[in-house]
Amino acid sequence: MQLTRVAAAALTASVSLFALTACGPPSSSNDNAGSDAASATSAEDLGGMDALIKAAQKEGELNVIALPPTWANYGEIIKTFADKYKIKVNSALPDAASQDEINAAKQQKGKSTAPDVFDVGQSVALANTDMFAPYKVATWGDVPDGFKEETGLWVNDYGGYMAIGYNSDKVPDVTKLSDLLAPEFKGAVALNGDPTQAGAAFSGVMMAALANGGSADDIAPGVNFFEKLKNAGNFVAVDPTPATIESGQTPVVLDWDYLNAAETAKLPSWKVVIPSDGAPVAGYYFQAINKDAPHPAAARLWQEFLYSDEGQNLWLAGGARPIRGDAMAKAGTIDKAKWDALPTVAGTPVTPTEAQNKAAADYLAANWAKVVG
Amino acid sequence: MTMSFTRGSVRNALPLVPFFIFLLIFLIIPTVSVVNGSISQDGSYSLDKLAALSDGAAMGALLKSVLLSAVTAVIGAVLGAVLAWLIVSSPPTSVFRRVVTSICSVLAQFGGVALAFAFIATIGYSGVLTAWSKSVGGPDLYGTGWLYSVTGLILVYTYFQIPLMVIVFLPALEGLRVQWREAAVSLGATSRQYWTQVAGPLLAPAFLGATLLLFANAFAAYATAAALVSQGNPILPLMIRTALTSEVVLGQAGFAYALAFEMIIVVAIIMVGYGLLVRRTSRWLQ
């Protein structure tokens, strides 16, 4: 009965997607201006920033996708960019996932509605580098090696550390992960999603692994930690959202520090700590330009804006750590109050490589359901 | 019966055309694409993805899906049948009967996020009943978060299974004619003999058929479970969700097709059984 409903829903979804793509007007005839911009790998290729701004303004629009207004301050970033350059920003599917961005670019290829730029998680980015156009922003040199692809296909943009957010009105203070095994946390600890599905939850299990003798190569101790948490009755299978946090259903949430920090603005008793028992887990998002971008100059101007001092400080205002943060702190251009207000981190941060991620994901796919089911 | 396409029969069939188009778009094409997607990859055919169904996690999800559906179907069928019997026993014009049947019609369709939220608001961590029980020193209703596991799904699914049973089982009970009982009694049957030897055998196919319908209903339900359970994907519809949307393990769309294919087979078996049982009952109820 309802199976057909599921199938019908899936089909309706794909039909409406098709309708969406079909309705997009054909790509307008700005190809002459676009052809230079589409192959430009830096602002100089177009004759400098002023020429880039002019070309972008001639295109007049920028398509972004999957950028929630409350996520790392994207609402303000988009508005500031639009006001500053008088370019209309079309923000599609703000709550979509990384893979949806790539899917949209493939389905709408050649249409004026296709996304111009991507902001995606690591595994999606590395699996789709053939969709990206190489580009180096003016501040390219500030981005540490290892956080950018050498030709500029992708550059890490902002990130943070896995953290524990907790409601200090409802539970005792937390400093390390092992605190959460105490009986006071009965039915209170939530993970932001299923780790076989959501990147943040995956990093949460990785954080637990590092705190319990594991490493980026060995996520098993993390799974064992959640098994202990579950057996103690403390782990709860609720998907935490701002609503569950504010209503008190999820008094403890393991999530990125910048997403947890965003909750503090609404709930003052919501505190964020990076646990001290184990190396911190760092995660950065990947910024890239769609090589088939309908607005190639605007896409490049967007990158210049994001990696400018202004753009980086806007991310920081959303609680995220901009990739140029350390360089800007040294140069004194960072928003110091906000930079100092970020949760403190001790120890050398761990960022798993793609191979380590893959191995850990396979382990989780085989074992996670057994532990929490 | 002849199958020749006379002008009349074509004209009579015309009103059905929208229905057939609907079937084609929403049932046949999706089914074919699911079957195709589960065995083909980039143009070549292989049974790898179907073989992956025997993995531990996938087998566990199948087992729990079947268990969840079976348990809620049996609970729903038994309690629903009792309620239906109470309804039939009251006079057709009674307020009780009218109120209960209309409530059941509404609740049988009350699922999804709204239902999940109703339970969260009642017996969740900060639910009304949980808070009340705590304030009067009663038991801890929330416990360790059982509501967000398969145990919780059993309770929540039962909420729409019982009313559905009432709706599908009521016609069968109403079909029991007073004359049959009078005939049995006048031949010297006791009440017990009437139920075990006349009404029981008459109702059994309808009861089992309705139970199978309830099983299929629970087996394919998605939205309620998705709103409640976010960890471990204990049942098949949730496993399909993860295979389609995971940003951790990429490229599992084919496995999602295989899981969907598995679900189609289970539901097909159930529906064939349902069809056979209904045919048997309808012989008596004409």
**Which domains are present in chain B?**
50-285 (1.10.3720.10)
**pLDDT tens digits for range B179-192:** 888 999 999 989 89
**DSSP string for B81-111:** HHHHHHHHHS-TT-HHHHHHHHHHHHHTT--
Q: Domain spanning A30-158+283-341 has what CATH number?
A: 3.40.190.10
Whether B220 and A6 lie within 8 Å, measured CB to CB: yes
Q: Is pLDDT above 60 for A316?
A: yes
Give the pair of three-digit tokens for residue A272: 């964020």
Q: What number of C-beta contacts closer than 8 Å exist between A and B?
A: 142
Q: What is the CA radius of gyration of chain A?
A: 22
Smallest CA–CA distance from A196 into chain B, residue? B248
**pLDDT tens digits for range A247-273:** 888 899 999 988 888 888 889 999 999
Residue whose tokens read 């929403």: B26
- Amino acid (one-letter) located at A50: D
pLDDT band at B7 (very low <50, low <70, confident <90, very high): low
* Distance set, CA B19 to CA A205, B13, B24, B26, B200 (Å): 50, 10, 9, 10, 37
CA distance B64 to chain A (A): 10
- Mean pLDDT score, A97-102: 86
Q: Which CATH architecture has domain A162-282+347-372?
A: 3-Layer(aba) Sandwich (3.40)
Whether B64 and A373 lie within 8 Å, measured CB to CB: yes
Strands A252-256 and A189-191: parallel
Nearest to A2 among B126, B221, B229 (CB): B221
**pLDDT tens digits for range B116-173:** 989 988 988 878 998 899 899 888 888 777 888 899 999 999 999 999 999 999 988 9
What is the pLDDT at residue B1?
45
Pick from B140, B242, B247, B255 the residue to mutate for testing the A interface (most A CBs within 10 Å): B247
**pLDDT tens digits for range B203-246:** 888 899 899 999 999 999 999 998 888 888 889 999 998 888 88
What is the pLDDT at residue A84?
96
Domain positions in chain A are 30-158+283-341, 162-282+347-372
What is the ipTM, given to two decimal places?
A: 0.75
pLDDT band at A26 (very low <50, low <70, confident <90, very high): very low
A249, with CB counted inside 10 A (0-12, 13-18, 19+), is buried
Q: Which residues of B touch A245 (CB under 8 A)?
A: none
Tell me, yes or no, if A4 comes closer than 8 A to chain B by beta carbon.
yes
- DSSP 8-state secondary structure symbol assigned to residue A307: T
Q: Is pLDDT above 70 for B99?
A: yes
Task: Give residue B60's Cα distance to chain centre.
Answer: 20
Whether B232 and A237 lie within 8 Å, measured CB to CB: yes
Calpha distance A190→A255 (Å, rounded): 9
Whether B217 and A369 lie within 8 Å, measured CB to CB: no
Whether A197 and B250 lie within 8 Å, measured CB to CB: no
Tell me, yes or no, if A184 comes closer than 8 A to chain B by beta carbon.
no
Whether B30 and A10 lie within 8 Å, measured CB to CB: yes
Tell me, yes or no, if A352 comes closer than 8 A to chain B by beta carbon.
no
pTM attached to this predicted model: 0.77
Give the pair of three-digit tokens for residue A53: 């701004």
Cβ(B239)–Cβ(A197) below 8 Å: no
Calpha distance A147→A140 (Å, rounded): 11
Smallest CA–CA distance from B22 into chain A, residue? A8
Q: Which residues of B touch A5 (CB under 8 A)?
A: 220
Q: Is pLDDT above 90 for A203?
A: yes
pLDDT top residue among B176 and A313: A313
Tell me, yes or no, if A234 comes closer than 8 A to chain B by beta carbon.
yes
